[in-house]
Amino acid sequence: MHAHSDHAHHEHADPASTRLGIVFWLNLSFALIEIAGGLLLNSMAILADALHDFGDCLALGLAWYFQKLSGKKRDRLFSYGYKRFSLLAAVINGLILVGGSLLILRETVPRLWSEPTALNTPGIVGLAILGLSVNGFAVWRLRGGHSANEKVILLHLLEDVLGWAAVLGGGGLMYLTHWYWLDPLLAILIAFWISSNALRSLFHNLGILLQMIPSSVDLDELRAALLELPDIFSVHDLHSWSLDGEYNVLTLHVVQAQTLSPSESLQLKQKIRALARTHGIEHLTLEFETQNEACELEDC
């Protein structure tokens, strides 16, 4: 028994995939400009951003690919379809950001103690302005996305914008004061900021992969609401998890209070489905039992 009405949602061309594609190509071309610029200007802060953006490109490419794949329906290999693949991309994405941040720290921390060399501050300011416009455009293109993937990417594109704003401010300050140690300091702050956000979303997505109860589903509340329905004696084997952070699944066994006719059973089933839907469940699997039936999943 399934709630089938929401299964046909992803058949039209996926706008999320188009949005991610545009942002991917934009990011890739800019990351190359950035790496050249960072090396030319000898700026660790810009190289930190460049390395980060390069990691983003790989992550975006994965996300773009998996977003397309995640629209695929069930087949002989994956009975739930490919929704979870977008989650996998989000996890790889998070790992790349954490790894990239560690790399930046390893390269940058020693620079804090070495004698700072003079930097081409007008060049840094110019590149920061370019970075701000490119990333600002990418954020604008991705706004309104709702998949876990798009949220992760939007989040770190926003970080990129703020990162560039910091580089712009730092570059301006170095231009005025010649405090060139600001450059590695900025790079380190950017790396810490990136990795703390990435770790947070990584834990969230790992929770979904490990079939944690979705944060939008309150199982105790749902159980209480079910027990208030007239024909229900008890419920058990209540399990809930999320396929991708949006699409929530629920299984349960319902023991009927008295023997119901087929049409009464159908009515009860429809009530349970409607109730589950108001509690954030999109895919419900339900089993009816009688009171004198021994169920081996009573406490599972």
Interacting residues with Zn ion (CB under 5 A) = 2, 237, 253, 295, 297, 300
145 CB-near residues (< 8 Å, 6+ apart): 16, 19, 151, 153, 154
43: its two tokens:
């700026």
- Choice between 4 and 12, CB closer to Zn ion: 4
- Choice between 49 and 282, CB closer to Zn ion: 282
Nearest approach, Cβ of 297 to Zn ion (angstroms)? 5
Phi-psi region of 245 (alpha: psi -120 to 50; beta: other; left: phi over 0): left
- Choice between 65 and 241, CB closer to Zn ion: 241
**What whole-number distance in Å separates Cα of residue 285 and Cα of residue 297?**
14
- Choice between 28 and 257, CB closer to Zn ion: 257
Nearest approach, Cβ of 243 to Zn ion (angstroms)? 12
- Choice between 79 and 263, CB closer to Zn ion: 79
- Choice between 177 and 290, CB closer to Zn ion: 290
Nearest approach, Cβ of 21 to Zn ion (angstroms)? 30
**Torsion (CA) 223, 224, 228, 231 in degrees, nearest 10:** 30
Nearest approach, Cβ of 253 to Zn ion (angstroms)? 3
Nearest approach, Cβ of 88 to Zn ion (angstroms)? 22
Identity (one letter) of the amino acid at 23?
Answer: V
Nearest approach, Cβ of 283 to Zn ion (angstroms)? 6
β-sheet bridge partners, residue 287? 253
Long-range contacts from 47-50, C-beta under 8 angstroms, 24+ separation:
47/104, 47/107, 47/187, 48/104, 48/108, 48/186, 48/187, 48/190, 48/191, 49/131, 49/160, 49/163, 49/164, 49/167, 49/190
Nearest approach, Cβ of 72 to Zn ion (angstroms)? 16
- Choice between 2 and 72, CB closer to Zn ion: 2
**What whole-number distance in Å separates Cα of residue 87 and Cα of residue 77?**
18
Alpha carbon separation from 106 to 37, 100, 192 (Å, rounded): 21, 10, 12
